[in-house]
Amino acid sequence: MRFPVPAGGTLALWLAFTTPAYAFDLHRFWDAQCQGCHGHSADFARAELAKNPPPAERLAGFIAGHRGGVDPRLAAAIAAMLTAQANQPADFREHCRVCHGDAASLARNLIRRDGGLYGRYSGRALREFLESHARLDADGAEAFARLMERVEAEVHFAEVE
């Protein structure tokens, strides 16, 4: 389900009355507000930011004022997401998408507990699961675990206690 996302000063008020479990999903925000012009966030980041990355503060400042502006905290989080994507190979898309869709959709089905990620429905620890999944070696399992930890933090941004 997608929610309309207000810009600027009304963001905090909007966040206060949205879904009770998590306040904000950076990937849904991108899809609703940015994808129409810029395409998928990772594709945009790899094409536009990887070759000549601006300093994080400058990118966040640009995002904060772009097309009417967004809350500076949100702009900084989007800048961090794009910077991480610019430096991340498209491994998930190449190896995982056929079964799992996009990384953000998969991450929405993970929960953070006791310092680790677990399957929302299976209850299995992600790191343990990856050790025997898709013929991953130890390095591959670790790389995908780190990727999913980052994406999970992006889709569950600004968690409400």
Domain segments of the chain as ranges: 27-86, 91-159
pTM, whole model, 2 decimals? 0.81
Low-confidence ranges of the chain (pLDDT < 70): 1-23, 159-161
pLDDT at 124: 95
Helix, strand, coil abundance in the chain, percent, nearest 5: 60, 10, 30
Under 8 Å CB-to-CB from 117, ≥6 apart: which residues? 110, 111, 125, 126, 127, 145, 148, 149, 152
- Residue 160's pLDDT is 40
